[in-house]
Chains A and B, each alone.
Chain A
Amino acid sequence: MTLRRADRVFWRGAPGFLVLADGDGQLTEISGRGWEVWQELANPIEQQDLVAVLMQRYGVDRQTMATDLAPLVDGLIERGLIERGLIERGPIERGPIERGPVVQA
């Protein structure tokens, strides 16, 4: 199942800290691995691939990582901060360091 960041989500992260705001300014705060997970969601990713990336990074087995990750993913989906199964919309061009071209208005 593919996961992607939802539209109208604003975020900042630091080691062990992630804060997200939705379009109405409602804040969601996640400690622990939330920031790392969010960075992996910069482009749509299969949930099983996300598990694989993180299990390799943290040196844990697949089952442990999948079990750890599931509540976080479910919580983010519940709050409308990420979406599941919309890969057909294609990669999203955005992110904290995205730079747009200088254009004539």
Chain B
Amino acid sequence: VTPGSRTLRRAIPVSAEGGVRLHPALVAAARHGLEAAGPPVAVEVKPEEQAEVLADARFDRLDGLLALSVLDGVVSGSATFVEDVVAQHHEALRSCVALESFAVRTITVLDEAGIDYRLLKGPAVAHLDFDDPSDRCFGDVDLLVPAGRWEYAVDTLARHGFRRGTPELRRGFERRFGKGATLISPQDFELDLHRTFAIGRFGVATRADDLFATAQRFRLGGYEVKALSASNRLLHACYHEAVGGFRGLRAARDVAQMILLSGVDWPATVETAAAWRSSIVVATAVTDAWELLDLDRSHTAFVWAASQNPTSGEAAALRAFRQPLPFRRQALTGLATMPGIGRRAAYLYALGVPSKASRVARQRSLGAHLWRSVAARRRNRPLR
């Protein structure tokens, strides 16, 4: 896999300049230890590349896998590089334990308020899907709460000092349509509170309440916490990889890790996705992961994924998430499949005419907001 290849253009967000920075050492680190991966190849990081590799590893939370790869001789570099990799990994581990402590304090608040939740992504995947959680680093805490308890959860956390990163688009938007909100704790930890997995077409199709029918419990700092079931964790990992925010090598690794190493029942994931009319999300994520990490394509998961073809509507929606388009453009992909004219109208109105507080936070007047929407559409270019 080389920068600029078809695979990378599909899987990795491309910068405005069209550049993709992806060093082979990072690919080697991201695939290191996967059973279906081919024989390991030693990749040398040259002195002039070291700073960039370290920065990209930090950005994509690959610090643990890069350190492991250096330790196992899969990635090599100067003595300084090795020292820096180890130091960066240690820094990431400090952050992980602080975040886990924060996660449990937050979960305790929800438990005491009687609000059900599922711990998502980083801490859950690190403990449940990796043999050594130190290999899977993360930079924030994500919790899913039931849509029906959304506002109560936000209010409860606000009473404990949490504040919003940005104001809600319009009152009630998040509960009805939103993916979630970022809340900042009094100690400045970031909490991504989720109502569902995605915005846009595939978020609309999500039946997030189904995710609360099962749980996988594990102890975090001696406290019993609830994560998604294994097949639902894979489903979430696929959503993140295919239609998430930044979808880098780590997102691909999570998908491959769960299918190849932690033994997740991936056909069960496909079954749920089919019920949500989102099979193409799983197929895309699996295809991306296998191509990006150069995995064995005879695996049944890849064979299934490669046989799936998106409808024209699905293809258009997926494209919207594969470019650095703004939130509204991606959210609009949900309009076509949203049931109910009134609901569509409310959705469109909220996206087109955000509340004053929301506009103020983005430093835009209503006129400027509307003009930017119209102008960008006419010129067929991304909004900033």
Contacts and interface: CB of A to CB of B under 8 A. Distances in A.
A94 B224 CA distance: 10
Contact of A103 (B71, B127, B217): B217
A65 to B, nearest CB: 25
Nearest to A5: B222
A27 B102 CA distance: 12
Interface stretch (B89-97, B236-244, B348-356): B89-97
Interface in A8-57: 8-15, 17, 19-25, 27, 29
Contacts of A11: 97
Contact of A12 (B86, B97, B102, B230): B97
A105 B94 contact: no
B213 A19 contact: no
B101 A22 contact: yes
Interface string B187-216: 100000000000000000000000011111
A100 B216 contact: yes
Contact of B217 (A12, A24, A100): A100
B219 interface: yes
Given A14-B89, A19-B90, A98 B219 contact: yes
Interface residues of B, number: 39
A94 B230 CA distance: 19
B217 A101 contact: yes
Interface in A68-105: 92-94, 96-105
B93 A103 contact: no
B223 A8 contact: yes
Nearest to B222: A7
A94 B131 CA distance: 14
A90 B231 CA distance: 33
B98 A9 contact: no
Given A11-B97, A14-B86, A105-B212, 9 more contacts: A7-B221, A9-B222, A10-B220, A12-B93, A23-B101, A24-B101, A100-B217, A101-B216, A101-B217
- List 8 tightest A-B contacts by C-beta distance, closest first: A7-B222, A100-B217, A12-B93, A21-B97, A94-B219, A25-B101, A21-B101, A10-B100
